[in-house]
Chain A
Amino acid sequence: MRVEFNFEFGIYNGSMSVLIKQGDHKLFESIDNIQKNLVAVIDLVSHGTLTIQLDGKNNNSDTEVDSQGNIVADKYVRLQNLIVGRVPVSHANLYNLCRYTTITGTQVNDTYWGWNGEVCVNFDQTNPVLWHAHNNPKHVIG
């Protein structure tokens, strides 16, 4: 099953690394990416959770904050789109699908990843129609 991740990278002091794995099997890796947008296409042959490992962020030096406390530059990764079997996941569902555990142990559902850690996405099916039936409910076509 074709799975496409569309990432947006926040580049500040370089970029975070992204490693996508299924169990111990490495499916995609990006280190020192310099592009703002990056597409990872994976051919998923067996079902099981995909883990996205995020690394390379130094929380002391990789975020710039102005005098009012606003973030003006940041090293981060954002999942803009997830396309499964060439069918996009709606943004509401995408948010719920991404279980993000930061290195500090905080668990949230989010598509903006500004801490080192890992994100788990459930792929309990390798048939895209069934996957969407279970994971992308109320997907509107057109």
Chain B
Amino acid sequence: MAPAVLKAVAEKEGHQSWGLDLNIDFVNQIEYYPQKSEITNYLMNQVWPSTAVFEYLSDIIDQFINRVLALNPDVVGLSLLTYQSQIFTYWFTSRLKDVKPDIQIIIGGSGIKKFIADNNNSYCEDLKQLGLIDHYIMGDGELALVEYLRGNLSYNGIDTNTWIQATNQQLESHPYPKYEDYNFDLYRKKEIPIVDSRGCVRTCEFCDIIEHWTKFAFRSGESIFDEMLVQSKKYGIRHFYFKDSLINGNMKVFTRLVELIAEHNRASAEEEKFSWQAYFIIRNSKQHPESLFELIKESRGDLELGIESVIRNVRWGMGKKFENEDIDWHLEMGQKYQIPLSLLLIIAYPTETLADWEFTKQWFKDRVQYGQNPVYQVQLNWASILPNTTLERKNKEYGFEIGKFPSIWFDTNFKITTQMKIDYINELNDVCKPFFAGDLHHILKEFQASAMNVVTSYSEDL
């Protein structure tokens, strides 16, 4: 959504601008290319492809550059969603500067670093030194881009490793993203992304979001709902995806928001009703009473629940301080009100024991009645040690050694091997089969297979 956000910011400053989502074009274009894996392997892991594949990549770069230059811009801003955009950006900027040397190029987005909380900004500095880019923006672009456009290049966030986080008031006053240059038909699911908050109210030790956005900042329910109304009228899309870490960080705001959406839905014909999907943290039944689930149902919410571990002690150690009864409360309410739930689980966390793994499998077996309704998906995520997190800093205390990638780490006590972890994820995957709807299980299998390949390849690193 960054191009739409930044387009709105630039237009508010009086500049004509366009927000192109080149990522979706790229993804769709390579989808059926026979050597797709060579391209992705190069862009993600720098495994050099064949010359023919490189030529294909070069053709795509030229297509994109022609699209950009047809608009005759003075400044091109590239927002990198993840580090996987870095290699493409490198060659894209080389070609763009080659074709139009006087064009100003700025880059930003969480992908300008390998991980969001990483302190290493060498990628940006290297590109700047080579002359591939003119400037880079660290952190949220909404504020820094304004300063850039006003010529204030000494602003904290432009060409620096530090940046200033937006306050609640600033978040609220950002213009609504402008998607005029997007073609929503290109996406698998037609939905409008919305930013409702930044950061998190919790301090989970594995999480790098709280290291990046150190304060929880949020918008009011009225402001979010107004954006939903404006965007739905403009683009004819009534499904919204909240892009942040949690929608219910501030219960007053969240309750007001679902009240407003529920009111709208009650007063609207079926095709006009809103629906939404968001990450959601679990709280106890006093904080999340049954009436809240009624509102979520009426507002047509779809919740991604960050459970992470069903082992109480492990979960509390992570920093997720809720009880197992609270998880069951959400499952029960989800089923009663038919609220779709997707459960997020971290697999083989460093503090888990073999007994914990058995408990986890049994926990799912005991809750098979929630399969399909309300739980349509269990997202089993391989435990990763992200840079600059509390978990990384606890490596000695927990007894692990970090490998080349966050997902590659080793139990230094050798009690749990990589193969044991792989076997466990397979077993748990089988146990969780009743919870998957449609082909999601198949997709997960593919993901896991690739994760296992990586783990197996690099397990020699130890």
Binding site for B on A (CB under 8 A): 1-2, 83, 85-88, 127-130, 132-134, 137-142
Contact = CB atoms under 8 A, between A and B. Distances in A.
A130 B98 CA distance: 12
Given A88-B130, A133-B58, A134-B51, A142 B123 contact: yes
A87 B97 CA distance: 11
Given A2-B101, A130-B58, A133-B55, A85 B95 contact: yes
A127 to B, nearest CB: 7
Interface string B89-103: 011011101100100
A2 B93 CA distance: 13
Q: Which of B51, B90, B98 has the most CB of A within 10 A?
A: B98
B130 A87 contact: yes
Interface in B137-184: none
Contacts of B90: 87, 141
Nearest to A126: B98
Given A129-B58, A130-B58, A141-B86, A87 B94 contact: yes
B132 interface: yes
Given A140-B46, A142-B86, A130 B132 contact: no
A103 B130 CA distance: 35
Interface residues of B, number: 25
A142 B122 CA distance: 7
A40 to B, nearest CB: 16
Contacts of A139: 48
Contacts of A85: 94-95, 97-98
B98 A138 contact: no
Interface of B: 46, 48, 51, 54-55, 57-58, 61-62, 86-87, 90-91, 93-95, 97-98, 101, 122-123, 126, 130-132
A86 B97 CA distance: 8
B52 to A, nearest CB: 9
Nearest to A140: B46
Contacts of A133: 51, 54-55, 58
A2 B46 contact: no
16 contacts: A2-B97, A2-B98, A2-B101, A85-B97, A86-B97, A86-B131, A86-B132, A127-B58, A128-B95, A128-B98, A129-B95, A133-B51, A133-B55, A134-B51, A141-B46, A142-B86
Contacts of A88: 130
A86 B94 contact: yes
Contacts of B126: 142
